[in-house]
Each structure stands twice: as C-alpha cells, then as structure tokens.
Amino acid sequence: MKKIHTREKRKMGLSHNKSHKKRVKKNGPKTFKAEASARKYAESLGLKKYELVNLKTGENKKLKVVPI
C-alpha cells in the first residue's frame, strides 16, 4: 500500500511517526432518491420482477432494488 503524505495525515488528524493503513469498507447496496431512476436501473439490469424498498423512515426516500 502507498504511504500517506504528511499533508494528508494532518488533514485526517493522524500522527506523523506511525504507519497508517486505510480500513477496508464494505460495499453497500446501490440506492436512489427517485423511483424513476430506480426503475430505470432495474430495467437496465434486465430485471422483470423486482421490488423497491425504502431504507429510510417517514417522508425521506432512499430506495433499493430487490429482485423477487
């Protein structure tokens, strides 16, 4: 892995005399704010039977395409 430059360490608040490695992040599901864009994405994948699931509560929208 590439070393982190001192300037970047200062931005992140890390010490300069220790080696730091970036943590591996898990990939989350692809999400959408609009239903139209979620449907378009599902059609581009070739899904005929799918469901749009809202990951947020209330009036906020964060949609995920789930194949049935």
Checking if the pLDDT of 7 tops 70, the result is: yes
Per-residue pLDDT tens over the stretch 16-60:
788 777 788 899 999 999 999 999 999 999 999 999 999 999 899
What is the reported pTM?
0.62
CA gap 25, 50 in Å, rounded: 27
The answer to whether the CB of 53 falls within 8 A of the CB of 29 is no
Q: Are 32 and 63 in contact (CB under 8 A)?
A: yes
Model confidence at 2, in pLDDT bands (50, 70, 90)? Answer: confident
More confident call, 6 vs 66: 66
Angstrom distance (rounded) from CA 20 to CA 23 = 9
Secondary structure E strands in the chain: 31-32, 50-54, 63-67
Q: How confident is the model at residue 6 (pLDDT cuts 50, 70, 90)?
A: confident
